[in-house]
Amino acid sequence: MITASAPEPAGDSSLVLAAREGDRAAFGGLYARYARMVHGILLARVPASDVDDLVQDVFLRALPRLCDLRDAARFGPWLAAITRNRANDYYRQTRAVAAVTESLPEDEAELPASNTSPDAEAAMILAFVRGLPDAYRETLILRLVEGMTGPEIAVRTGLTPGSVRVNLHRGMQQLREKLAQASLGDAIQPGSRNSRNSAAQEKSALGRRNEP
pLDDT by residue (tens digit) across 4-26? 344 556 578 999 999 999 999 99
What mean pLDDT comes out for the span 143-163?
Answer: 94
Query: How many Å apart are CA 138 and CA 108, to the nearest integer?
Result: 20
The domain boundary, picked from 43, 72, 93, lies at 93
The domain boundary, picked from 93, 116, 144, lies at 93
For residue 121, what pLDDT is reported? 73
> Nearest 5°: CA angle at 8, between 5 and 11?
155
If asked whether residues 122 and 193 sit together in one domain, one would say yes
If asked whether residues 35 and 77 sit together in one domain, one would say yes
For residue 107, what pLDDT is reported? 37
Query: How many Å apart are CA 136 and CA 94, to the nearest integer?
Result: 25
* 186: containing domain: 106-205
Buried residues in 170-208 as b, exposed as e (16+ CB within 10 A)? bbbebbbebbeebebeebbeeeeeeeeebbebbeebbeb
* Banded model confidence at residue 124, pLDDT cuts 50, 70, 90: confident
Looking at residue 65, which CATH number applies to its domain?
A: 1.10.1740.10
Looking at residue 137, which CATH number applies to its domain?
A: 1.10.10
